[in-house]
Amino acid sequence: MGNAFDASEFLAGFLVEAEEHLSASTTNLLAVETSLRKGENNPRAVRELFRSLHTIKGLSAMVGIEPIVDVAHAMETVLRKADRAAGALSTNAFEALLAGLRAIGERVRALSTSAPVAPAPPQLLDALAALEITQDASPATVELVLDAGLSAKLSATEKAQLLQGAESGRRALRVDFVPSPARAAEGTTITSVRERIGAFAEIVKVVPLSIPASDTAPGGLAFALLVLTDATNEALAAAAATQPEHVQVLHTRRVDGADPLAEPEAAEEDVGEGRKRGIVRVEVARLDDALERLSALVITRFRLARAVDALAAQGVNVGELGEIVKGYGRQVRDLRGAIMRARMVPVAELLDRVPLIVRGLSRATKKPVRVVIDAGKAELDKAVADRVFPAIVHLIRNAVDHAIESPAERRRLGKPEEGLVRVTCFERSTNQLELGISDDGRGIDREAVAHRASRPVPADDAGLLDLITLPGLTTLDHATKTSGRGLGMDIVKRAVVELGGELSLGTTPGAGTTFTLCIPLTITIVDAFSFVCGEQTFVAPVAAIEEVVEVVPEALVRGPSRHTRFGEVRFMERRGEIVPLVNLASVFSLASREEPKALVVRRNGAALAFGIQRMVGQQEVVIRPLEDPLVKVTGVSGSTDLGDGRPTLVLDLVALSGALSQNRTEVPV
C-alpha cells in the first residue's frame, strides 16, 4: 500500500473491465449470428462489438498484454469493414470472430490466475487477416436481386437508391399488395397501404403488375412496393394486408445458407440491450466495507436496547424510547438489505455465455444441441456467481459430451436428433437459489459407474451421486477433447458444498439427467490464515492480522499481577513497542498451551499478540455466519469448510482483543 502506482490493483481493474467487455461482445456476437440465420444484418450489434473490442485493445495496451492487443486489433479490423458494409458479416467471419473472442477470453483468464499469457495464435490472426482481403477484393458487398420483369421497370436511379439504402444498413424489401373489392370495403386500397407503409419506410417505387386473376385477386392486378426500411417483415406485411412470408429481401448477403423457417430461440438471448443503462461499477470490497460499518450500527442498536431495558427495570416509563429503538432496528435491517442487494447480479447475465459454450461443444462433438435457458429475474451475489459458474459449465460440458447421444443413436432411439440442454433457475426460499441443469440424453448407468468405482451398485440417485463425486472417477475410458480434463464431478460437488449449498441428482436411463444445485444467494469470502491452537484448527482473516511472529520464551517479560481469567499475560518487545501476549488456547480453555508463534492484532491503536501452536496456510474461505444464539460468542464470527467436511471456526481476533481488554479482571494465583 501507499505506492503511487500499484500494478496489481490496476490489473484487477483491467480484469473486471475486460471481463465485462468480453461478456458484452459475446452477447453481441450471438445477436449477429441470430440475425445471420434470419438472413439479416445487425449493424448495431456489429458496432457494439467493434466498440467493445476497441476498448479491450486499448486496455490491454495500457497494461502491456500484447497477445490480446494483437487479436483484438485483427478482430477490430474485420469489424470496421463490416461496419462500413452496414453490418455485413459472412459465416466464416463469424466463426473467426468467435475464435478470436475465445482466444482473448483464455488470455484474460490466464492473467487472472497469474498464469503466463500465450502469444496470439498465428493461424487465428491469419484467418482474420484473410477475411479482410476477401472483402477488399470485392468491395461491392451488396447486390440487388430483382426478377427480370421488375428490374426492367426500375430506372438506374431507383436501383442505385435501393442499393445505397441496403449498403447503409437498411433493408431493401419488396412487399406485394393485391387490391380487391372486399379489401376496398375495409378501407384497404393502394393509397391507404402507401400511407401506412410510408409512415415507417421509404417507398422507392410502386410497380403495378398484372397477375393471373383469381378469387383473391379478381382484378388480375397487384402492386409491388419496393421500400427501404428498418422495420420488421411483420410490420410491413401487416401494413400491406399480407403475410410476412410474402415480404422479399431484394439484396444479397445473408440469404446464403439462411433457413427461412428457422425460428431460433436466440431471440431470447438478445437481452444485453438496455441492461447496462444507468449502471455504476463498484468494487465488491467497497460494499463489504459499507457492510462492515453497518455492523457497528447493529452493535449500537443492541447497546441502546440494553440501556432502555435497564431504564425500564428501574421503573422508568420508556414507552416512546422503546418505539424509537425498535424503529431504528428496522431501519438498520433495511439498510443491510439494501447493501446486500447492491451486490446482486442477474442470473440471466451470468448465463449469457452458456449458449456460446453449448455452440462450441456442439461443434466439437458434432452433435446438434439446443439450449434453453430460463433464468427468470433471479439474482445472485456476485461472489457466489463467480464461484458457481465453473460448476455450471462443467455440468453443461458433461451433458453435451457424455449424456447426449450421437444423432444416429438418437434417431435409432426415436428421439429428436437435436439434443436438449436446459438451464433453469428459481429462488427456492428467502436465501436459496435452485439451479437446474438437465439434458435429454442417455442417463447415468448405475451399474457401469459402480463397476468403474469397484463399489456396490447404489440403491438410489443420492447413492449414485456419492459415487460419481468420488475424486478421480470418470465413466469414460478415453478422455474426450472437451471434458476429459478440467473439473471432475468431485470438484463440482466441492464448489457447491464450499458455498454452503447442496448438489442433487435425478437420472432416468434413456431419458436424461438433471443436476440440481441449491446455493445460498449471498456469501462472504475472505482471504484467511489457517492455524492450529490447542489441537483445533481455526481460520482468521488475513486483513485483521498485523503480523505473525515467533515467540521467544526467554525474551518474554512477566509483570506483577499478571493472572487473569483467561490465563497469564506476558509482554514481548516488537520493534520498540511492548506488546501483551495471551495464549489463545487458554483464552478458549483448550488443552494444549504450546505457543511457538503468535498473531498480532491491533484494536484502537493497541496491539495484542495471541500465542498459537502453528500456522497451517493461507487460503480464500467462504464464511458462513453463525446465526443461532447458542453459538453466538465474542471472537467467533462464523464457520467455514476447509474441505474436510467439518465446520472450522472463523475467528474475529480484533473483537476478541476488545472483549479481553474490557474483561481484564485479575485473579489470585
Residue closer to other proteins by CB (options 10, 302) is 302
Residue 298 Cβ, how far from other proteins at the closest point, in Å? 5
Selected binder of other proteins within 414, 628, 662, 665 (CB under 8 A): 628
Which backbone phi and psi does 297 adopt, to 5 degrees?
-65, -40
Residue closer to other proteins by CB (options 74, 621) is 621
Grid look-up 446464403 returns 256
* Residue 287 makes contact with other proteins by CB under 8 A: no
* Residue 646 makes contact with other proteins by CB under 8 A: yes
Which grid coordinates are listed for 201? 419506410
Nearest to 608 by CA among 573, 576, 579: 579
Nearest to 442 by CA among 506, 358, 508, 488: 508
* Residue 583 makes contact with other proteins by CB under 8 A: no
* Residue 429 makes contact with other proteins by CB under 8 A: no
CA gap 75, 101 in Å, rounded: 9
Contacts of 387 (CB under 8 A, 6+ apart): 495, 498, 499, 523, 525, 622
* Residue 306 makes contact with other proteins by CB under 8 A: yes
Residue closer to other proteins by CB (options 377, 565) is 565
Residue 317 Cβ, how far from other proteins at the closest point, in Å? 19
* Residue 530 makes contact with other proteins by CB under 8 A: no
Local structure of residue 555 (DSSP, 8 states): G
Which residues, numbered 338-397, are part of the site for other proteins (CB under 8 A)?
none
CA atoms within 13 A on the CB side of 303: 6
* Residue 624 makes contact with other proteins by CB under 8 A: yes
Residue closer to other proteins by CB (options 56, 496) is 496
Which grid coordinates are listed for 88? 455485413
Which backbone phi and psi does 664 adopt, to 5 degrees?
-85, 50
Amino acid at 237: A
* Residue 536 makes contact with other proteins by CB under 8 A: yes
Nearest to 233 by CA among 252, 257, 260: 260
Selected binder of other proteins within 267, 476, 633, 667 (CB under 8 A): 633
* Residue 616 makes contact with other proteins by CB under 8 A: no
Residue closer to other proteins by CB (options 518, 521) is 518
Selected binder of other proteins within 41, 648, 657, 660 (CB under 8 A): 648
Q: What share of the chain is helix, strand, coil (3-state, %, to 5)?
A: 45, 25, 30
Residue 54 Cβ, how far from other proteins at the closest point, in Å? 44
Q: How far, CA to CA in Å, does 666 sit from each of 127, 232, 663, 669? A: 79, 84, 9, 9
435: left (phi over 0), alpha (psi -120 to 50) or beta: beta
Selected binder of other proteins within 123, 630, 662, 665 (CB under 8 A): 630
Selected binder of other proteins within 163, 321, 590, 615 (CB under 8 A): 590
CA gap 461, 447 in Å, rounded: 12
Residue closer to other proteins by CB (options 185, 630) is 630
Residue closer to other proteins by CB (options 3, 430) is 430
Selected binder of other proteins within 302, 555, 661, 664 (CB under 8 A): 302
Residue closer to other proteins by CB (options 68, 587) is 587
Selected binder of other proteins within 87, 105, 501, 512 (CB under 8 A): 501
Size of the site for other proteins (CB under 8 A): 38
Selected binder of other proteins within 634, 663, 666, 667 (CB under 8 A): 634
Q: Are 465 and 517 in contact (CB under 8 A)?
A: no
Selected binder of other proteins within 181, 187, 472, 645 (CB under 8 A): 645
Q: What is the DSSP string of 561-585?
A: S-EETTEE-EEEEETTEEEEEEEHH
* Residue 641 makes contact with other proteins by CB under 8 A: yes
Give 334-340 contacts, CB < 8 A, sequence gap 24+: 335/294, 335/297, 336/291, 336/294, 336/298, 339/287, 339/290, 339/291, 339/294, 340/291, 340/381, 340/522
CA gap 95, 78 in Å, rounded: 12
Residue closer to other proteins by CB (options 332, 607) is 332
Residue 312 Cβ, how far from other proteins at the closest point, in Å? 12
Residue closer to other proteins by CB (options 182, 631) is 631
Cα three-residue angle 289-295-296, rounded to 5 degrees:
100
Residue closer to other proteins by CB (options 68, 539) is 539
* Residue 500 makes contact with other proteins by CB under 8 A: yes
Residue 295 Cβ, how far from other proteins at the closest point, in Å? 10
Residues of the shown chain interacting with other proteins in the complex, contacts defined by CB under 8 A: 298, 301-302, 305-306, 309, 329, 332-333, 496-497, 500-502, 518, 536, 587-590, 624, 626-631, 633-636, 639, 641, 645-649
